[in-house]
Amino acid sequence: MKMNLPNKLTVLRLILVPVIMIVGMLPYIPFLISCFLVAFLFILTAVTDMLDGKIARKRGLITDFGKFLDPVADKFMVIGTLFVILFKPEFNHIKSLIIFSLVFIVFRELAVTSMRLVVSTGEGIVIAANSLGKIKTVSQIVAIATTLLEPVVQHVFARATGLTWDGNILPLTYLTLIFSIVMTVWSGISYIKSYWKYLDPEK
């Protein structure tokens, strides 16, 4: 199958996910440098998400393949990077929040993906991302980027001002992660309510 440019960008996003995970888990890279590198790769990967949708709409290249694969690539990008954060002992003080994020995201995505497959197979309807789903994805991207970059920014600021750096105080990380959890649950409920009518329990 010949893929158009938006679909190629989506596939590229999938390819970049293991790169992020490998770089983030290399033991010999110092914590702050690792956070910066992972954040850079993660944001670069997230930009492909923004570009593929924009190009697809502008050039009329929206396909069922793209509608299905795009949110799948988003899931791998977010979940893979959260596992990198969970892997780092320096983030142990927010481990419970990261685990909560992963649990809610995985359960939400399993429910929505299962519904996508059932509705697509039974009714021939491809469920594309709605506005809440897009806000959810953006909130997760912002939360992960903040989690990775806040320690780096704090350290740079502390060195510039001569203040003591305490890597355990990450207020923006807490706020953005909690907001992303709320949006994850909310958007999941919205999807299920919208497409529940297409599920036939007798099939």
DSSP 147-177: HHHHHHHHHHHHHHHTPPP-TT--HHHHHHH
What's the chain's length in residues? 203
**Tell me, what's the pLDDT at 120?**
63
Residue ranges of domains in the chain, CATH in brackets: 5-198 (1.20.120)
**Tell me, what's the pLDDT at 188?**
87
CA distances, 134 to each of 38, 49, 84 (Å)? 22, 11, 23
**Tell me, what's the pLDDT at 15?**
92
Average pLDDT of every residue of the chain? 85
Alpha-carbon distance 125 to 5, whole Å? Answer: 23
Tokens describing residue 14: 């999938």
**Tell me, what's the pLDDT at 33?**
95
Residue whose pair of structure tokens reads 């991302």 in the numeric block:
129
pTM: 0.85
Q: Determine the number of helices (DSSP H) and then strands (DSSP E) in the chain.
A: 6, 0
Using CB atoms within 10 Å of the CB of residue 128, give its burial: 0 to 12 exposed, 13 to 18 middle, 19+ buried.
Answer: middle
Using CB atoms within 10 Å of the CB of residue 176, give its burial: 0 to 12 exposed, 13 to 18 middle, 19+ buried.
Answer: buried
pLDDT tens, position by position, 182-200: 999 998 888 888 777 666 5
Alpha-carbon distance 95 to 83, whole Å? Answer: 10
Alpha-carbon distance 114 to 111, whole Å? Answer: 5
| Residue 26 · residue 68 · CB < 8 Å | no
pLDDT tens, the chain, 203 aa long: 577 887 888 889 999 999 999 999 999 999 999 999 999 999 999 998 888 878 877 887 777 777 778 878 888 999 999 999 999 999 998 999 999 999 998 888 888 777 777 666 655 555 556 678 889 989 999 999 999 999 999 888 888 887 776 667 789 999 999 999 999 999 888 888 877 766 655 55
Q: To 10 degrees, what angle do helices 5-25 and 31-59 make?
A: 170
**Tell me, what's the pLDDT at 203?**
52
**Tell me, what's the pLDDT at 198?**
65
* SS3 per-residue string spanning 58-125: HHCCCCHHHHHHHHHHHHHHHHHHHHHHHHCHHHHHHHHHHHHHHHHHHHHHHHHHHHHHHHHHHHCC
One-letter amino acid at 170 equals: L
